[in-house]
Amino acid sequence: GAGVSQTPSNKVTEKGKYVELRCDPISGHTALYWYRQSLGQGPEFLIYFQGTGAADDSGLPNDRFFAVRPEGSVSTLKIQRTERGDSAVYLCASSSSGTGGSPLHFGNGTRLTVT
């Protein structure tokens, strides 16, 4: 498929565990974004990559959250010592460039449930 792919689609984990969420962007898209969406809310920005580097990580809530994009394509969002408040849908998006007019194309998200 040509869209943004996120795996897994659902993840259930116990409080305190470590999780990794994967995002495969649209081929050729240099910009990649992670958002978090809680029930009844709009997507909340977490981090933005331009190529391999994190251009803006101001949305990461604390140091338990970390993301990488080592080769400028696939990205992994890592959450340590998960808490019940981390439960949400984690959305990944990519765009052809990081300039203001380029629309973001979103994946279907990973629904994370921390029990």
**Interface residue list for another protein (CB under 8 A):** 31, 33, 40-45, 48, 50, 55-56, 58-59, 89, 91, 93, 98-101, 103-109
CB of 34 to another protein, least distance (A): 10
Q: Which of 113, 107, 114 is nearest to 22 (CA)?
A: 107
DSSP letter for each residue of 8-32: -SEEEE-TT--EEEEEE--TT--EE
CB of 38 to another protein, least distance (A): 10
Q: Check: CB of residue 107 under 8 Å from CB of residue 6.
A: yes
CB of 81 to another protein, least distance (A): 26
Torsion angle, CA of 100/104/109/115, rounded to 10 degrees? 10
Q: Check: CB of residue 88 under 8 Å from CB of residue 37.
A: yes
Instruction: Give the residue with the Cβ less far from another protein, 25 or 109.
Output: 109
Instruction: Give the residue with the Cβ less far from another protein, 49 or 80.
Output: 49
The 3-state DSSP class for residue 86 equals: helix
Instruction: Give the residue with the Cβ less far from another protein, 76 or 102.
Output: 102
CB of 20 to another protein, least distance (A): 21
Instruction: Give the residue with the Cβ less far from another protein, 14 or 28.
Output: 28
